[in-house]
Chain A
Amino acid sequence: DTGVSQDPRHKITKRGQNVTFRCDPISEHNRLYWYRQTLGQGPEFLTYFQNEAQLEKSRLLSDRFSAERPKGSFSTLEIQRTEQGDSAMYLCASRGGRAAITDSNYGYTFGSGTRLTVV
């Protein structure tokens, strides 16, 4: 397994355009998280999937944001009508069982992120 993959790595878009990011988690991981990281800050939680069900959403996830995880495998994060304030790194992470304490990284594997720039 090659870890968590995110695509694209970089995206530049004009204000008002829609963008979609993809995350492919580790295949045996049924839990998937999206985070947003603005420059100079730590990642902030956006949303959480367990299998195909979206079980938690942050208030940061405005109505312009939507996330899906069809069939409980890959996930997509779409931002509609992008604004300059959406410029950030969008990180995806996956993990396996409930505690996964025995995993070498205690369960969470992060992708390399998608860096979005809205001009």
Chain B
Amino acid sequence: AQKITQTQPGMFVQEKEAVTLDCTYDTSDPSYGLFWYKQPSSGEMIFLIYQGSYDQQNATEGRYSLNFQKARKSANLVISASQLGDSAMYFCAMRDVRMDSSYKLIFGSGTRLLVRP
């Protein structure tokens, strides 16, 4: 079964510093997609970054980058130059791409990030 594990329930980071949020995954499928979402207190899930299992390079989107280590089955999110507005819950998710699947997302339990001024 596919599974996402986020082992950091909460993290603190000083404003303007970088922070790494951990994510490990488990799947037997060779083809999969990994996502990171941000969920502020208002509740909406905001897409941050995507990494495909066959992508040769680590994904980057502005201040977000994904440290993809396929052999270790990890997909850590790195946020550079943290801002106060980055304080939120962060979820790692995997797309279920098995044959005839719904392509639903499987989420981890999340990491709450608090940015200190």
**Cβ contacts A55-68/B at 8 Å (1 or 0 each):** 11000000000000
Query: Of the candidates A31, A42, A95, A113, which one forms a contact with B91 in the assembled complex, judged by CB atoms under 8 Å apart?
Result: A42
Bin the interface of chain B by size.
Answer: 20 to 34
Q: Is A2 an interface residue (CB 8 A)?
A: no
Instruction: Say yes or no: A91 contacts B45, CB within 8 Å.
Output: yes
Instruction: Say yes or no: A108 contacts B106, CB within 8 Å.
Output: no
Contacts of A35 in B (CB 8 A): 105
Q: Which of B69-117 contact A (CB under 8 A)?
A: 91, 93, 101-110
A102 to B42, CA, bound (A): 27
Contacts of A89 in B (CB 8 A): 43
Given contacts A33-B102, A42-B108, contact A112 B43 (CB under 8 A): yes
Q: Is B47 an interface residue (CB 8 A)?
A: yes
Q: Is A111 an interface residue (CB 8 A)?
A: yes
Query: Of the candidates B102, B105, B109, which one forms a contact with A56 in the assembled complex, judged by CB atoms under 8 Å apart?
Result: B102
Could you list 14 further interchain pairs (A-B, Cβ under 8 angstroms) beyond the known A56-B101, A56-B104, A110-B44?
A40-B109, A41-B109, A42-B91, A43-B107, A44-B107, A45-B104, A50-B102, A91-B43, A98-B103, A101-B52, A106-B33, A106-B35, A112-B43, A113-B44
Question: A-side interface residues toward B, CB under 8 Å?
Answer: 31, 33, 35, 40-45, 48, 50, 55-56, 89, 91, 93, 95, 98, 101, 104-106, 108, 110-113, 115
Question: B-side interface residues toward A, CB under 8 Å?
Answer: 4, 6, 33, 35, 37, 42-45, 47, 50, 52, 91, 93, 101-110
